[in-house]
Amino acid sequence: MLVLIRNIMIGKQTLMFTLIISVLAVGGIWLLAYSTPFGLGLNDDSIAYIAGARSIMEGNGYRAAWLASNGPVIHFPPGYPAVLAFIGLITNLDPIRGARALNGVLFGLNIAVAGWLGWQMTKSRLAGIFVASLTLLSSSILFIHTRAMSEPLYILLMLLSFLLIDLYFKRSQNHLLVVLGFMLGWAYLARYAAISLLATVLAALLVLHSSWRQRFKSILILFLSAFPWILAWSIRNRVVGGSFTNRVLSWHPITIKNWRKAKGTFSDFLVPVDEWQKSLGIIPNFFTILLIAIGLALLIWVLIKGIPRLLKPKINPRPGVLSFVNGLYVIAYLLTLVATMTLFDPATKFQVRILSPTYISLLLLLMVLGLWLWKKKRIFINSILMFSSIGLLGMFAYGQIISVQDLRKSGAVFTSAKWSKSAAIAAINEFPKDVLILSNEPGVVYLYTGRPSGVLPKKEPGISNITQPVLDGDIAIVLIKVNRANSDTLRYYYDLGRGLYHTDLSNTWLFTAFPD
């Protein structure tokens, strides 16, 4: 009887937990819709995804429809535009509108799965609700969902992968590894950086299993399930584009400016209120020391838990699967990111979208640390933890209110009425259809006119060679955001327009043939 009553009580608690998490998830969907009255923020990468999705919907495959060349896309993975195309095909929504609906659902799901992970990691439903609440109230996490980018989809696949590996170790069923392999393959198709997620899971299988036979068997199953997706897409890129990911191996160390950008981005996540951040900034190197301390503590913890278990699994207990995997993932992701930026992609900056895949893992690990300290049952420590938890929720909530107000004022980057109603867009729409447009922002031209553009020549003799075609009326040059150009860029623009008819539309210049 007591067992039955206990099961009923646990069932009611789980039902209540599920209901609260669902309410928070629905709140996230509403919050994203409320924060984006002008639609999702769009930048150059977003336009590439939108154009790629439209190309897929039209049956042309994943192509650079925003460019006149309309070549196969290899620089951006296909997962996000493929989902947008699928939504468009079944709902008849244009990918721009479909992206807003998709990102709203993704925000809700990421909140719910984060809360579920918090419960599974700590065995505390209250902890799960706390993590879900922080995810909902984090202005940094909301921000990445208000952009038409691949990170929200990747984060969902990442979180589901964590749940699957935990479920695998609970049930020891190999078919779960196959599903996990498929999940990791799709994560790679959403973001190439998912190679760090695959490495994390493979390393976790190596460490967490008790025998070498189990280790090799599970790694083989997972690898054979995930690698075909990666291999197939890589072969496709190599065949149609001559490169696996459109990155070239070279040496370019990360600049001091970019490292400072990383510190600022993490600071915005941890302390999302500018005034409070500035107050803490009075303390010399406060955020630098804090971030280094977090990184070192995480690295040391993973090594202390992982190496003894790897070498002598019989006498060293298995660490908590979810805690270990999340800690290992944060380290693997950041190391992969640094290696990629140093050896392949110097243009990448430590922006919020680049660092965002670590945010929920950090919140989960913070919750685990807090609960571990709570169980020490020290009145002083527990009092600090209680006030800190309330303060963290309050700070995140206050930061979120400010962020939502800013988001609602206008669209981000290329999402605003000033673009759609600008004189420049109206002038471009008046160009004859057979005129080729060359632009420094072909994505913007495509977004608001539907016309693909060519890329401007960067040096001679290309600059001089386009003069006559412009004078013949075959080409028009469109230069956008001229008022933000530096002196070297302006000098280049003047070289492009020498001898051509110049129309100055404030932030946009048009170079065309002299009027008849």
DSSP 86-117: HHHHHH---HHHHHHHHHHHHHHHHHHHHHHH
pLDDT cut 90: percent of the chain above it = 73
Most confident of 139-143, 243-247, 383-387: 139-143
Q: Is the pLDDT of residue 426 over 90?
A: no
- Location of structure tokens 């500018």: 274
**How does pLDDT run across 175-224, given as a tens digit for each residue?**
999 999 999 999 999 999 999 999 999 999 999 999 999 999 999 999 99
Backbone angles phi, psi at 431, to 5 degrees: -65, 140
Bridge-based pairing of strands 436-439 and 454-455 is: parallel
Distances (CA, A) of 138 to 20, 143, 377, 416: 18, 9, 29, 24
Query: Who has greater pLDDT, 413 or 377?
Result: 377
Token couple for 347: 């243009």
Q: Is 64 helix (H, G, I), strand (E, B) or coil?
A: coil
The predicted pLDDT at position 516 comes to: 46
pLDDT higher than threshold 90 for residue 369: yes
State how far the Cα of 486 lies from the Cα of 489, in Å rounded to an integer: 5
pLDDT for 310 = 94
The SS3 call for residue 192 is: helix
Please say whether the beta carbons of 147 and 40 come within 8 A. yes
DSSP class of residue 513 equals P
CB 364, CB 159: distance < 8 Å: no
Confidence at residue 267, expressed as pLDDT on a 0 to 100 scale? 95
pLDDT of amino acid 3: 55
Question: What average pLDDT does range 497-516 have in this prediction?
Answer: 83
Query: What pLDDT, in 10s, does the model give residues 16-33?
Result: 999 999 999 999 999 999
Q: What are phi and psi of 364, to 5 degrees?
A: -65, -45
pLDDT level of residue 346 (50, 70, 90 thresholds): confident
Domain locations along the chain: 19-409, 417-512
Give the tens place of pLDDT for each residue, 393-420.
999 999 999 999 999 886 666 666 667 6
Query: What mean pLDDT is predicted for residues 82-98?
Result: 95
Q: Among 106-115, 302-311, 418-427, 486-495, whose mean pLDDT is lowest?
A: 418-427
Question: Which pLDDT does position 25 carry in this prediction?
Answer: 98
Secondary structure of residue 451 in the 3-state scheme: coil
| Pairing relationship of beta strands 454-455 and 501-505 according to DSSP bridges | unpaired
Compute the average pLDDT of residues 383-387. Answer: 92
The whole-angstrom separation of Cα 30 and Cα 98 is 16
pLDDT at 171 over 70: yes
